[in-house]
Amino acid sequence: MALEDYRSDMEMCCRCSICKFVPLEKLKEIQHSYVCPSIARYNFHTYAGGGRMGMGIAMLEKELEYDGKLLEVVYNCQMCGACDISCKYAMDMEVLEPINEIRIKCVEDGHTVPALDGVINSLRKQGTMVPGAKARRGEWAKGLDVKDITRQKAKVIYHAGCRVCYDEDMWRVAKATVTLLHKAGIDVGIAGENESCCGGRAYQMGYKEELLNQAKQNMELIKKSGAEILVTGCADCYCAFKVLYDKFGLKDDLEVLHTTEYLARLIKEGKLKPTKKVETKVTYHDPCHLGRLGEPYIHWEGKPVPGHIRIFGPPKEFRRGTYGIYEPPRDVLKSVPGLELVEMDRIKEYAWCCGAGGGVKETNPEFARWTARERIDEAESTGAEAIVTACPGCERNFKDTIKENGSSLKVYDVVELLEKAT
Amino acid sequence: MIEAVKSALVANLEKIVGSEFVSTNPADLYIYSYDLTPAEPNWPDVVVLPQSIEELQAIISLANKEKVPVTPYIAGGNVGGLTIPLKGGITLDLKRMNRIIEVSETDMYALVEPGVTFGQIKAYLDKHHPTLMYTYAFSPPSTGVMANAIVQGLDNLSFRYGAASHWVSGLEVLLATGELVRIGSGAASKSWQAIVPFPELDGLFLGWQGTTGVITKMAVSLWPKPKHSTALSFMAMDLDGAYAILQAVIRTRIPDDLIGTSFALNKVSQLAYEHKKMSMYPAVYRTQEEPEFVITAEITGNTENELKAKVEAVKEAVREKCKGIKMMGPDTMPSTTAAFPMQALGVLSSGGGLMWVGSYGPMSAWLETIKKGCELQDKYDITRSCYTRIMNEGHFAGLRWMLPYDKEDPELVKRINDLCAEQLDLILEMGYMPYKTPVWAVRKLEERVGPDWLKLHRRVKEMLDPNNIFNPGRWGMPRE
């Protein structure tokens, strides 16, 4: 697919602006009515999903030329998909796909931004999206006695992801995950030094080839290992393995689970028993790529029926975010004795992004922090003592923002709280 | 605009609001150059996003001094080309001015800034004033409350209270001179509850499509929110029957909302609720067994008994007055009093284009107008898609034919345009007046109004906007 293939989706946009907001029926508070960080921060209509649809058409029609200003609009978007899901509350059209294609077109036409070039160079050379990473990829697992799936057979492979491997502060999440899996008697292994980036974030940035290369490399390693289930605690990796690899026909029959899905299953099966009290009041932040963008890919091949208005043969089923991973992380939290879970206004399909996605943390850290600040304020308004998430990208951005702007709010991964209780 | 003039203008605008809120970036400007109707696109030279009255005053004073056109803009869901800057200049995007300044629980009004949307006011009232409601427009919840009132929009309480401009109880307006004027009770008191026994100056700004000033605050009436609601539908086998049913219901004075739609349009909308699509192309003609027109009365009550009694009274009135008329129903359905059914949008804008000749006119001419309008649709082989809303307890009616179309089909675009031109001639002939009037319809109207009306109209425009900076090329435009 290319941008041109989404022409009719883009032309279908009636500029109703619903892509900017939480749908009315789901809206709980006026100050939390925006769902798209980009339009909320930059205000010009072009920054909204609808504006980007218009921009895509204008690019195809060559009414807009590449320049720094165009790229500013293109890359000041977290690719969080909120516009797509809000739009699909009523409409049957793709929004995020053409937005992604705009980026792919920019990359193909050689119009990139230096900050992302650096990240992609790191991916090409070192297999990680963390430029200048010093720690060795598998160092987090030191002393854990976990299988190396390049040498030993294991049913489950745990993929830690770049953001965990190269951020010492995040190692505890990976360690806690493996510890809990061991406690539950799961035969788990890791690829250690041989683990490589999933490629998902590269795709969000417009580097499709890099995603495909990473996918092929990763799937070869996994196939060779004989693992049946891949578990990851990173929402971006989860979306890449489960959704993007499937989209491009590279997933095969690998079962992909987020750690919260797997842990919720193990709790239900009685293999994990959280008994220790963790007395705290928390609110849960749905990571975009685990929630609305984490729902399975739907393969469809068809075309518009001639003479009709946007009716497809065969009918097209749209991904509306409904089947994302929303309950498992909440189920895990609810299983923790003494823990009180309170909800924010914007949750599940309509959750506000943490701000780190789509390369924004790399290209425009101020925007990434601004977006996180909005979420932290929303979390604080619930009276919670902590914001809990299920993605190291979200956690890092929240922590960086709190460090810079201050807040008494603590930041946890779901896994950490479960480990405390188990 | 000459580049040097533009540079100086932009520099001044940046001084006023900060460079972050001024753009000449083509990627930003492009989206402000068109809407979903076939209105001719035109680019602004610059877009500016003020947040305060002081900033707005400075912008307008500057534009007036430099004689630069200013086109106000809010949410972006514009139709009829109303916010396409015909003469370029400044597009004044007011979305950052989005405060709900005050809600008076007792006097039942809300004072809002231009950027406040229907969705936002509903969410705010639901949370902070749950016994009050505003209304919703026949458009998505992202529609601006103020924009809807300025263009005399129809809403889901229009049967009871008329067009949205009738609910305006006060305005604050910025004039071309930079002066800030309050109208209504707010002019002389702290309260904004009503238009008071002053000369009713609000008429200088409502219905003018932003050509006489920038409205910076608007007080709108709120209404008590009933606890119970239902919808009652009647399906008439022909338009004569539909008219008889409407008249019977009108005289009960019971509904909050009374609307009617061509059966095909209704069927399409019903399917849309299930995310199913039914194409309106090629034209769908009803079978003999199918009804022609579906009439829906939204009814509310404070108690279940009250609601039941109202429903019975409406049914009884129709039974009494429509003897011998072939119809199906009545059926009761869940009410849609909460919000505009967004699912309908997927059908109405499915091909990226949506056009209609929307009008207000007398009930006495409703039957003949709707018949002829539907026959015109047959002539152009377009599915009958009439939508009518009875206003102000039947004193007048909103009437339009919804025309979704595929923007990429030039033959269809031409057919739609030709049909609209004929429908406009028809409605004008029948005494119906187009609203949210696109320029081409304004020019047609100007040919029909008395010459003295036109002179007065232009005199008012000239008095309020001597340099013709506000949304020029529309109402009150000097003849070229």
Tell me the chain B residues in contact with residue A27 when contact means C-beta distances shorter than 8 Å: 119-120, 122-123
Write the residue in B95, B117, B407 that is nearest to A43 by C-beta.
B95
Question: What's the CA gap between B28 and B47, in Å, rounded?
Answer: 8
Please tell me the distance from the alpha carbon of residue A111 to that of residue A266, in angstroms, as a whole number: 47
Question: Is A70 an 8 Å CB contact of chain B?
Answer: yes
Q: Does CATH number 3.90.740.10 belong to domain B228-434?
A: no
Residues near B20 by beta carbon (within 8 Å), at least 6 away in sequence: none
Distance CA B474, CA B82 (A): 8
Pairwise CA distance, residues A181 & A174, whole Å? 11
Which portions of chain B are predicted below pLDDT 70?
275, 336-339, 478-480
- Chain A residues in contact with B343 by the CB 8 A cut-off are 90
Facing residues of B232 across strands? B297, B332
Min Cα–Cα distance to chain A from B2, Å: 20
Q: Which chain A residues contact residue B127 at CB under 8 A?
A: 28-30
Q: Which residue is it, tokens 């269809």?
A: B412
Which among B133, B349, B356, B408 is the top mutation candidate for probing chain A, defined by the most A β-carbons within 10 Å of its own β-carbon? B349
Chains A, B: CB contacts within 8 A come to: 163
Q: Among the residues of B179-232, which ranges form H helices?
A: none
Torsion of CA A55, A57, A60, A62, to 10 degrees: -60
Structure tokens at A168: 């010492």
Q: What tokens appear for B36 in the block?
A: 């979903």
Flag whether residue A86 sits within 8 Å of chain B, measured between CB atoms.
no
List the single residue in B96, B118, B345 with the smallest CB-CB distance to A14: B345
pLDDT of residue B329: 83
Q: Can you read off the two tokens belonging to residue A188?
A: 């788990």
Closest to A325 measured CA to CA, from A409, A264, A408, A251: A264
The reply to whether A92 touches chain B by the CB within 8 Å rule is yes
Tell me what pLDDT residue B339 has. 67
Contact A51, A99 (CB under 8 A): no
Facing A44 at nearest CB: one of B28, B343, B345: B28
Instruction: Check CB contact under 8 Å for A70 and B26.
Output: yes
Min Cα distance A108 → chain B (Å) is 19
The sign one gets for the Cα dihedral A275, A277, A278, A281 is positive
Residues of chain B found within 8 Å of residue A313, distances taken between Cβ atoms: none
Q: Assess contact for A311 and A304: CB atoms under 8 A.
A: yes
Q: Given an 8 Å threshold on Cβ–Cβ distance, is A12 in contact with B117?
A: no
Question: CB distance A309–B405 less than 8 Å?
Answer: yes
Distances (CA, A) of A238 to A197, A266, A287, A352: 12, 19, 11, 19
Flag if B26 and A307 touch (Cβ within 8 Å): no
Q: Which of B47, B342, B348, B409 to mutate to test the interface with A (most CBs of A within 10 A)?
A: B342
Q: Of the candidates A27, A50, A92, which has its C-beta nearest B76's C-beta?
A: A50
Distance from CA of B350 to the nearest CA of A (A): 6
Other beta carbons less than 10 A from residue B414's beta carbon: 11
Three-state DSSP class for residue B355: strand
Q: How far is CA B84 from the centre of its chain?
A: 16
Q: Is A8 on the interface with B (CB under 8 A)?
A: yes
State both tokens at B423. Answer: 């429908």
> Helix (H, G, I), strand (E, B), or coil: what is residue B234?
strand
**Is any Cβ of chain B less than 8 angstroms from the Cβ of A72?**
yes
Tokens read off for B326: 């072939």
Determine contact, residues B281/B383, Cβ cutoff 8 Å: yes
Closest CA of chain B from A305, distance in Å: 10
**Which domains are assigned to chain A?**
124-268 (3.40.50.1860)
d(CA A395, CA B426): 63
Best of A7, A15, A366 to substitute, by most chain B Cβ atoms within 10 angstroms, is: A15
pLDDT of the residue at B396: 97
- How do the residues of chain B divide into helix, strand and coil, expressed in percent and rounded to 5? 40, 20, 40
Question: Does A16 contact B280 at a Cβ distance shorter than 8 Å?
Answer: no
Instruction: Kindly give the interhelix angle for A365-380 and A392-405, rounded to the nearest 10 degrees.
Output: 90
Q: Which of B25, B30, B121 sits opposite A58 (nearest CB)?
A: B30
CATH T-level topology, domain B100-224: 3.30.465
- For residue B274, what is the nearest residue in chain A, using CA coordinates? A90
Residues of chain B found within 8 Å of residue A306, distances taken between Cβ atoms = none
Say what the pLDDT of residue A307 is.
59
* Strand segments (E) across A80-195: 147-148, 156-159, 188-190
Domain parsing of chain B, residue ranges: 3-93, 100-224, 228-434
Are A298 and A343 in contact by the 8 Å Cβ rule? The answer is no
- Please tell me the distance from the alpha carbon of residue B313 to that of residue A312, in angstroms, as a whole number: 45
Task: Assign A313 to helix, strand or coil.
Answer: strand
Contact between residue A94 and residue A6 where contact means Cβ atoms under 8 Å apart: yes
Taking CA B120 as the corner, what is the angle to CA B119 and CA B124, rounded to the nearest 5 degrees? Answer: 120
Q: Answer whether B127 sits within 8 Å of A29, measured CB to CB.
A: yes
Query: Nearest by CB to B76, which of A8, A45, A307?
Result: A45
Q: What is the number of residues in chain A?
A: 422
Contact A14 B49 (CB under 8 A): no
pLDDT, position A111: 94
What is the nearest CA distance from A343 to chain B, expressed in angstroms? 16
Structure tokens at B447: 């040919």
A88: DSSP letter? T
d(CA A376, CA A104): 32
- CB pair distance less than 8 Å for A70 and B405: no
Q: Which residue do the tokens 């979305």 mark?
A: B95
The dihedral built from the CA positions of residue B118, B123, B125 and B130, taken in this order, carries a sign that is positive
Option in B26, B123, B142 nearest A20 (CB)? B142
Which residues make Cβ contacts (< 8 Å) with residue B273, sequence separation at least 6? B341, B343
Chain A residues closer than 8 Å to B117 by CB:
17, 21, 33
**Whole-angstrom Cα distance, residue A411 to residue A409?**
7
User: Contact A30/B124, CB-based, under 8 Å?
Assistant: yes
Indicate the class that CATH gives domain B3-93.
alpha beta
How big is chain B by its Cα radius of gyration, in Å?
A: 23
Q: Give the integer Cα–Cα distance in Å for B191 and A35.
A: 34
Instruction: State the pLDDT at residue A132.
Output: 82
ipTM over 0.90: no
CB-based contact A18 B342, cutoff 8 Å? yes
Please report residues of B whose CB lies closer than 8 A to that of A89: 342
Mean pLDDT for back-to-back runs of 10 residues, chain A (422 residues): 91 88 88 96 95 95 90 97 94 94 96 94 92 86 94 96 95 97 97 96 97 97 95 98 97 96 98 97 98 97 72 87 97 98 97 97 97 98 98 98 95 98 96
A298 at B interface, C-beta within 8 A: no
The secondary structure of A36-67 as a DSSP string is -HHHHHH-SGGGSHHHHHHHHHHHHTT-S---
| pLDDT confidence of residue A99 | 98
Helices and strands in chain B: count of H runs, count of E runs: 14, 21
Phi, psi dihedrals of residue B109, rounded to the nearest 5°: -145, 160
pLDDT value of residue A287: 98
**Region for A163 from its dihedrals, namely left if φ exceeds 0, alpha if ψ lies in -120 to 50, beta otherwise:** alpha
Between vectors from CA B339 to CA B151 and to CA B51, what angle results, nearest 5°? Answer: 55
- Which DSSP state fits A412? E
CA–CA distance from B374 to each of A347, A395, B6, B235 (Å)? 46, 59, 49, 17
How many angstroms separate the CA atoms of A250 and A243, rounded? 10
**Which chain A residues are Cβ-neighbours of B142 within 8 angstroms?**
16-18, 20-21
Q: Which residue of B has its CA nearest to A307?
A: B281
Q: Provide the shortest C-alpha distance from residue A30 to chain B (in Å).
A: 5
For residue A8, list chain B residues with Cβ-Cβ distance below 8 A. Answer: 352, 408
